[in-house]
């Protein structure tokens, strides 16, 4: 049997350094738990960075993929279209509320969905500019990197990205950036960098993922909706991490009451299989000509079968309500930890539904980031059998992305380990 250490040595000799990650090598997984190659059990509060919202190997997802395996595994939709693809598009069209008739494009990754959304917006408007926001994350491709508002590790050392990308401030009340200040910053971009009539799209996450689980204030999204309407700009909501019931709604934008023009989805949509989508207003989505969108593996039959099963599971098992319940439990425990001496470094607790994070600071008054404490908490949790991730532009946020199918007993165990890990991390400083 291979060990984690032996596999880590092999990885360093075989895998590009930029693809580095944790040194826990997985042998098997089930729902909220996984086991490494040495047989150690972990509770997974990362789920592949928000992918397995329905848990590892959900029986209905596995059954759907197995059934599809017996029929065919690949055709390329451009060459051999199939009913499952059409059905999934119909369901996503009905799910996304743009206030109009919708169309959907299936692709493979979140970055690919974002790039296609930008292509579609440019085709529909005849304009070139795209404005995204500080702290946002939109992928690791050249376009995704340019749209992303976080330097390391996504942008540093990779040179200039494509032209036509502009960044505006994100409203972050905890760090002193109000909605009004962020809107003034956006207005400055529209007067100093690019004219509104040259902007094809505004792109924003309703809850920032890599940026630190910062929730976009509803009034800011409402202001963006008005700005887009006033100037004929396409409003794109990136729901790659926040979508698929994660926040207690199918899409996080539903908390704001606005209607987007285009929505990008991925991660939780496939239940562990690679699939992504762009869904939006038909009059915008249908602007690119035939053959202008798609790809060889876009809408792979196995991933499509998985996605259709994921939508069934979310509905049948009430996972939106479950996300809200899980999130409330996590938030209550974090607030309890924050009230202790060991939890004095927890400066802010935030998120929606089961997309919850705590920001670690060295001083609650100044909000000075403490990336070291965040790193130690994650390391201590891993020793005790709990997998967590950090995020944030200052690397000082610990995020929790439990599967929405996580049993209460395992959730309680995970939070006990987290409590112990915070105490140990503070003590090891």
Phi, psi (rounded to 5 degrees) for 155: -120, -30
Residue 161 is predicted with a pLDDT of 87
Residue 1 is predicted with a pLDDT of 65
When pLDDT is averaged across residues 79-93 and rounded to a whole number, the result is 98
Span 51-68, pLDDT tens digits: 999 999 999 999 999 999
Residue 152 is predicted with a pLDDT of 83
Residue 153 is predicted with a pLDDT of 87
Alpha-carbon distance 36 to 387, whole Å? 12
Residue 20 is predicted with a pLDDT of 81
Residue 247 is predicted with a pLDDT of 98
Alpha-carbon distance 317 to 30, whole Å? 17
For residue 376, what are its two tokens? 């130690």
Residue 38 is predicted with a pLDDT of 97
Does residue 84 surpass a pLDDT of 80?
yes
Residue given tokens 């503070």 in the structure block:
426
Q: Are strands 234-238 and 199-204 parallel, antiparallel or unpaired?
A: parallel
Residue 91 is predicted with a pLDDT of 98
Confidence of residue 295 (pLDDT cuts 50, 70, 90): very high
Tell me the CATH number for domain 4-57+318-427. 3.90.1150.10
Q: Between 290 and 124, name the one with better pLDDT.
A: 124
> Percent of the chain at pLDDT above 70?
100
- CATH topology classification for 62-316: 3.40.640
CB atoms within 10 A of CB 214: 30
- How is 121-170 classified by DSSP, letter by letter? HHHHHS--EEEEETT----SSHHHHHH----TTTTTTS----SSEEEE--
Asked if residue 337 lies in contact with residue 422, where contact means CB atoms within 8 angstroms, the answer is yes
Residues 6+ apart with CB under 8 A from 397: 212, 213, 357, 358, 359, 360, 374, 390, 391
Min mean pLDDT across 155-164, 276-285, 302-311, 350-359 is at: 155-164
Rounded to 5°, the CA angle 255-261-266 comes to 70
CB atoms within 10 A of CB 317: 17
Residue 428 is predicted with a pLDDT of 85
> Percent of the chain at pLDDT above 90?
95
Span 147-166, pLDDT tens digits: 999 888 888 888 888 999 99
Residue 429 is predicted with a pLDDT of 73
Confidence of residue 342 (pLDDT cuts 50, 70, 90): very high
When pLDDT is averaged across residues 230-253 and rounded to a whole number, the result is 98
When pLDDT is averaged across residues 104-129 and rounded to a whole number, the result is 98
Span 360-380, pLDDT tens digits: 999 999 999 999 999 999 999
Domain definitions of the chain by residue range: 4-57+318-427, 62-316
**What is the enclosing helix (H) or strand (E) of 36?**
strand 33-36
Confidence of residue 353 (pLDDT cuts 50, 70, 90): very high
Alpha-carbon distance 414 to 28, whole Å? 19
Span 382-428, pLDDT tens digits: 999 999 999 999 999 999 999 999 999 999 999 999 999 999 999 88
Averaged pLDDT of the chain:
97
First to last CA, the chain: 35
Residue 382 is predicted with a pLDDT of 98
Does residue 79 surpass a pLDDT of 70?
yes
């Amino acid at each position: 049997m291979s060990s984690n250490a032996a596999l880590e040595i092999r990885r360093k000799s075989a895998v590009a350094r930029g693809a580095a990650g944790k040194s826990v090598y997985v042998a098997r997984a089930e729902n909220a738990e996984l086991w490494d190659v040495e047989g150690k059990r972990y509770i997974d509060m990362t789920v592949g960075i928000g992918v397995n919202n329905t848990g590892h190997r959900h029986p209905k997802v596995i059954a759907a993929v197995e059934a599809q395996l017996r029929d065919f595994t690949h055709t390329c939709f451009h060459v051999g279209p199939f009913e499952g693809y059409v059905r999934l598009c119909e369901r996503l069209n009905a799910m996304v509320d743009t206030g109009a008739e919708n169309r959907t494009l299936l692709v493979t990754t979140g970055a690919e969905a974002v790039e296609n959304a930008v292509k579609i917006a440019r085709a529909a408007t005849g304009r070139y500019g795209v404005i995204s926001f500080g702290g946002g994350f939109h992928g690791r491709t050249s376009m995704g990197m340019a749209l992303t508002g976080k330097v390391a590790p996504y942008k540093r050392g990779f040179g200039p990205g494509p032209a036509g990308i502009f960044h505006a401030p994100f409203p972050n009340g905890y760090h002193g950036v109000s909605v009004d200040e962020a809107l003034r910053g956006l207005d400055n971009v529209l007067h100093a960098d690019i004219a509104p009539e040259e902007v094809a799209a505004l792109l924003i996450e309703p809850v920032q993922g890599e940026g630190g689980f910062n929730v976009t204030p509803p009034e800011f999204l409402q202001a963006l909706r008005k700005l887009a309407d006033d100037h004929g700009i396409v409003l794109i909501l990136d729901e790659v991490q926040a979508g698929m019931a994660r926040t207690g709604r199918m899409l996080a934008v539903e908390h704001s009451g606005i209607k987007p023009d285009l929505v990008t989805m991925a991660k939780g949509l496939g239940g562990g299989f690679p699939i992504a989508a762009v869904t939006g207003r038909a009059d915008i989505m249908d602007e690119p000509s035939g053959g202008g969108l798609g790809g060889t593996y876009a809408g792979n039959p196995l991933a499509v079968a998985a996605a259709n099963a994921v939508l069934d599971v979310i509905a049948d098992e009430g996972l939106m309500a479950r996300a809200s319940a899980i999130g409330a439990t996590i938030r209550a425990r974090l607030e309890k930890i924050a009230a202790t001496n060991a939890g004095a470094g927890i400066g802010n607790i935030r998120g929606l539904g089961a997309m919850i994070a705590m920001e670690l600071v060295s001083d609650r008054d100044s909000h000075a980031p403490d990336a070291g404490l965040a790193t130690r908490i994650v390391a201590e949790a891993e020793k005790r059998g709990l997998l967590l991730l950090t995020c944030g532009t200052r690397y000082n946020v610990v995020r929790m992305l439990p599967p929405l199918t996580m049993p209460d007993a395992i959730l309680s165990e995970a939070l006990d380990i987290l409590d112990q890990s915070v105490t140990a991390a503070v003590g090891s400083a």
